[in-house]
Amino acid sequence: MKNSISLRAKDIIKKTKGKLLSGSLLDIATDFEIDSRRLKKKQAFIAIKGEYNDGHDYIQAAYKKGCRFFIISHQVSLEKIASKITIIKVKNTHRALFDIAALKRKKSKAKVIGITGSCGKTTTKEMLSLILSGSYKVLKTAGNFNNQYGLPLTLCNLQADHQIVVLEMGMNRPREIKKLNKLAEADIGIITCVHPVHLKFFKSIKEIAKAKWELVQTLRGLKIAVVNADSQQLKPLIKKHKGKVVTFAIDQAADYKASDIVINNNSLNFKVNGFQKIALDLIGGFNVDNALAAIAVARELKVSYAIIKRKLKSYKLLPKRMQRIDCKGIEFINDGYNANPKSVGLALESISLRQSNGKKIIVLADMLELGVSSRRYHECIGRAVAHSKIDILMTYGKYAGWYCEAAGRAGMPKKNIFFLKNNEEVTSLLLKKAKKGDIVLLKGSRLMKTEEIVECFMNSYIP
């Protein structure tokens, strides 16, 4: 195909040090997949053994979906179909995924933008991709595929006509970003912010900043670092960068500074550098930072403010990210994709600022991966709830009792504080407490599955 970056079996074998078990050395693969459920006809299937599932168990299912090119790491029963397909055996299919991604990256002329940070990675990625799509052919990380599987898989589907690649890079340990960007070879690196997350694996916020900075240290080509000047831990690192640094901020001086921020119930407005008016149809003041980061990169790539404004105005948040759901007059805001002290505090601030004719109820689940600092940060959030405009606090999870204890000590009436066992108990209590006109914010780490509470409530609620 004209716009494809195709790889012959012999190229893959050379790069992965694999062996051809079936098919021809000249057989071609263009697109790749590691999940048989997402597999499309004519995509090549890389059978990866994960923590819970082994892709080798789904080869027959992949064949039925039209796949005819397989990369495996151990023998499987393929007698009935072996003559009809291409099979390459490698020592490690996860390593092969990286190798194939590297082949694709080397063949591409696209500029690559890497995005990391403690909060806002996915939203910034989506905003920036939307803005750039008006001027460039863009490939972006699907959903939040930002790890050791998702990022190389994105690159595996890079094609010749892609001009820009926007990659989200997640991490929870040192050197993970370095490994990802060694593969991605980003020209531009965005650090959205640095906050206390993954403290189970880091001794301090300073160490988190250094881990995020691995992206900047490994930039290639343009070597443009786009960083949040309000993140104090980045200041000493910025001085060391030999390439171009572009800053954005709300409080500190920056190349792209937000001012005149107005937060309404259903919209967000601000100015960039005092005169460019930006309007967003979404909630959460923290989205100003995300928009600023996207604007800074777009301007570096010569996108006009007219296009930026139009695209941002049309932007819609992804599910589980301050997602508004109306249930017969009760407004649910599900922000349950993930949670850390900063993002919980910002979500709390957002709901406190919203106008409501009824009660404001917050449902808080555990913030995970905080290590020895877990109690301190849960208690900090509990005190913040007590000092906010929240009427009722409901919590569940292993650490959620700390929210309640701190909120009670800080003066919140104990009759309005509820420590519950699980999301089923939360749903039951919400069915009794929530009324028309109320706002219910749900916030917790992804494993706490706050969306199940919303779903159960909507299926059971009778006004």
pLDDT (tens digit per residue) in 26-66:
999 999 999 999 999 889 999 998 888 899 999 989 998 99
* CATH of region 108-313, choose from 3.40.630.30, 3.10.20.90, 3.40.50.1360, 3.40.1190.10: 3.40.1190.10
Give the sign of the dihedral formed by CA 12, CA 29, CA 77, CA 51.
Answer: positive
| Residue 202 reports pLDDT greater than 90 | no
Give the percent of the chain with pLDDT over 90: 72
Q: Is 260 exposed, middle or buried (0-12, 13-18, 19+ CB in 10 A)?
A: exposed
Task: Specify the range with the lowest mean pLDDT, choosing from 44-58, 103-117, 294-308, 391-405.
Answer: 44-58
Strand order, beta sheet including 417-420: 323-327, 330-335, 439-443, 360-365, 392-396, 417-420
Q: Give CA angle at 214 (212, 219), nearest 5°.
A: 120
Q: What is the pLDDT of residues 89-122, one digit of tens each?
A: 999 999 999 999 999 999 999 999 999 998 889 9
Question: Any idea where the domains of the chain sit in the sequence?
Answer: 7-92, 108-313, 323-460
What confidence category does residue 192 fall into, taking pLDDT thresholds of 50, 70 and 90? very high
Q: Specify the CATH superfamily of domain 7-92.
A: MurE/MurF, N-terminal domain (3.40.1390.10)
User: Would you state the pLDDT for residue 154?
Assistant: 95
93-108 as b/e: b if 16+ CB within 10 A: bbebbbbbbbbbbeeb
Average pLDDT over residues 140-166: 91
Task: Specify the range with the lowest mean pLDDT, choosing from 124-133, 143-152, 259-268, 419-428.
Answer: 143-152
Give the percent of the chain with pLDDT over 70: 98
Q: Strand pairing partners for 214?
A: none
Tokens 């048989």 — which residue? 36
Q: What is the pLDDT of residues 207-241, one digit of tens each?
A: 999 999 999 999 999 999 999 999 999 999 998 89
Average pLDDT over residues 378-385: 96
Average pLDDT over residues 3-25: 94
User: Would you state the pLDDT for residue 196?
Assistant: 79
For residues 145 and 153, is the Cβ–Cβ distance under 8 A? yes
0.85 surpassed by pTM: yes
User: Would you state the pLDDT for residue 300?
Assistant: 97
What angle, rounded to 10 degrees, do the helices at 121-132 and 305-313 form? 120
List C-alpha distances in Å: 283 to 122, 146, 248, 316, 354.
Answer: 16, 24, 20, 10, 9
User: Would you state the pLDDT for residue 342?
Assistant: 86
| Residue 252 reports pLDDT greater than 60 | yes
Mean pLDDT of the chain: 92
What confidence category does residue 1 fall into, taking pLDDT thresholds of 50, 70 and 90? low
What confidence category does residue 79 fall into, taking pLDDT thresholds of 50, 70 and 90? low
* Nearest C-alpha neighbor of 132 from the set 148, 152, 111: 111
DSSP-H helix ranges across 169-279: 176-184, 205-217, 235-238
| Domain covering 323-460 assigned CATH 2.40.50.140 in the classification | no
Q: Strand pairing partners for 139?
A: 165
| Residue 200 reports pLDDT greater than 80 | no
